[in-house]
Amino acid sequence: MTLATNMTSGFDKAQRFAVAGAIGGAISELLTEPFLGVYRDSSSIVNLTIHTGIWFGLIGAGIAVSLLIASSQYLKRGLQIQQALRDGVWLGFLAGAIAGAIAEYTYASVGPTEFLRVICWGIAGGLLGLGLSFRIPNLGRWRGLGGGLLGGLLGGSLFVVLAIVSELSASVGRITGTAAIGCCLGLMIVIIEAAFREAWLQIHYNTREVRTVSLGSQPVSIGSDPKLCTIYVHNAPPVALRYQFKQGQVMCDNIPSSTTHLLQPGDKQTLGIVTIVLCAANSLPQPNLSAQNFPKTRPQPLHHFCLHVKYQDIPLKDGAQLRGKDIPGLEPQVAGGFVAQVDHNPQEPTILGLKNCSQRVWIATLTSGEQKQIQSGRTIKLVAGTKINFGSVVGEIRS
């Protein structure tokens, strides 16, 4: 696949990140405008350095949060605002603060030059891109650093033009300039990622809606649980497929069937109404056909459980789905769906739990006598002797 085709496949993603970065830069500058006057007229180098570092840091935090929100929304996982704030604020603030402090101290020592201003924005962008590489799936440290550096340099140049050279007011120039920096950061990070990645997935939701995600050593999972998966797909198992690009080969784990497949560029897989296509910049090594479909060993649960409800025992195996006819009185959250599902603990596959997929809150009575409310979407660990009041009926976990 040519470089041009590789980059074109990420055009929609680049647009989204550019817009998100611009919004983050503009909003963060608008919110920090009142802060600019504090200590700004101080003759103390220490005060000026701290002041500028904090200002750069706040701008960086705003851009980082907006790009992380864009990443989650692009992968259909929702806005994930709380997670973006948790992961992005300190990441962006640290990158901006370091570059801002360097800029102000150098200004005081050497004298202000617009070239130095651009270099400092490049440093801030590089650090921000490097930090985002730990949060955006398989962005890669060097691609994040390089994309952020180029974005910072380009955005810093536009900042100088808009805020200094043009006849815009100082406030309007700063807001427009920081928006340009955020836009360039988001744009260049995605362009550099698309230009130099080796393998990626195209997720076709329909003929007009396609998402791409890079593959690498960090596993990329697809399923219906946005907390566990990289890419969200409606009406799929919580974690259905898991991809990983390692040693020049792409492996796909089918979680429900506990099998692993070795894939080649162009291979397609279907998950509900979604089609997943493996793409690569160059041809990958030919697979060993004897290993193309082999069972993946996984620790099995130590106990076999069942749910005793109204004189019947319902087996509770990993991945089992229970419907309204199994537990009378419960309604699924999605029409035609199931009311409960057996899942294993991602960190400890030998531990099973029963997930509430219904519209009603369950009341579980543990073997100790303690009672717990199991809200929709929450899971109760399978332990023999636990009783669950489903509303209309009461069930008991048995082994």
199-295, CATH topology level: Tumour Suppressor Smad4 (2.60.200)
Query: Hey, what amino acid is at 342?
Result: V
CB atoms within 10 A of CB 170: 11
Per-residue model confidence (pLDDT) at position 361: 92
**What angle, 0 to 180 degrees and rounded to 10, lies between the N-to-C axes of helices 141-160 and 170-196?**
150
φ and ψ at residue 94, rounded to 5 degrees:
-65, -45
CA dihedral 307, 312, 317, 321 (to 10 degrees): -90
**What does the alpha-carbon distance between residue 384 and residue 388 come to, in Å, rounded to a whole number?**
12
Per-residue model confidence (pLDDT) at position 293: 42
Which residue in the block uniquely carries the two structure tokens 């070239």? 115
**CATH 2.60.200, applies to 305-398:** yes
Per-residue model confidence (pLDDT) at position 294: 39
CB atoms within 10 A of CB 135: 18
SS3 at position 55:
helix
**What does the alpha-carbon distance between residue 152 and residue 209 come to, in Å, rounded to a whole number?**
30
Q: 396 burial class (0-12, 13-18, 19+ CB within 10 angstroms)?
A: middle
Query: Hey, what amino acid is at 61?
Result: A
Beta strand 321-322 with 340-344 is antiparallel
Q: 204 burial class (0-12, 13-18, 19+ CB within 10 angstroms)?
A: middle
Tell me the whole-structure pTM to 2 decimals: 0.61
Per-residue model confidence (pLDDT) at position 165: 62
Per-residue model confidence (pLDDT) at position 296: 46
pLDDT tens digits along 57-103: 888 888 888 988 988 888 888 778 888 888 888 888 887 788 778 77
Q: 99 burial class (0-12, 13-18, 19+ CB within 10 angstroms)?
A: buried
| pLDDT-flagged residues of the chain (< 70) | 1-10, 35-43, 107-108, 110-112, 162-170, 173, 282-303, 346-350
Closest alpha carbon to 247 in 209, 294, 277, 285: 285
- Sign of the CA dihedral running 54, 126, 129, 6: positive
Q: In the numeric block, which tokens belong to residue 355?
A: 């997930």
Which residue in the block uniquely carries the two structure tokens 């360097």? 102
**What angle, 0 to 180 degrees and rounded to 10, lies between the N-to-C axes of helices 45-74 and 11-32?**
140
CB atoms within 10 A of CB 126: 23
pLDDT tens digits along 3-47: 444 545 567 788 888 898 889 888 988 888 776 655 455 567 777
Q: What angle do CA 106, 112, 113 make, to 5 degrees?
A: 110
**What does the alpha-carbon distance between residue 314 and residue 322 come to, in Å, rounded to a whole number?**
9
**What does the alpha-carbon distance between residue 187 and residue 148 come to, in Å, rounded to a whole number?**
9
Q: 209 burial class (0-12, 13-18, 19+ CB within 10 angstroms)?
A: exposed
DSSP code of 6? H
Contacts of 209 (CB under 8 A, 6+ apart): none
**What does the alpha-carbon distance between residue 83 and residue 73 come to, in Å, rounded to a whole number?**
12
Strand partners, 295: 259
Q: Please give the order of strands across the beta sheet that includes 312-316.
A: 312-316, 305-309, 394-398, 387-389, 362-365, 371-374
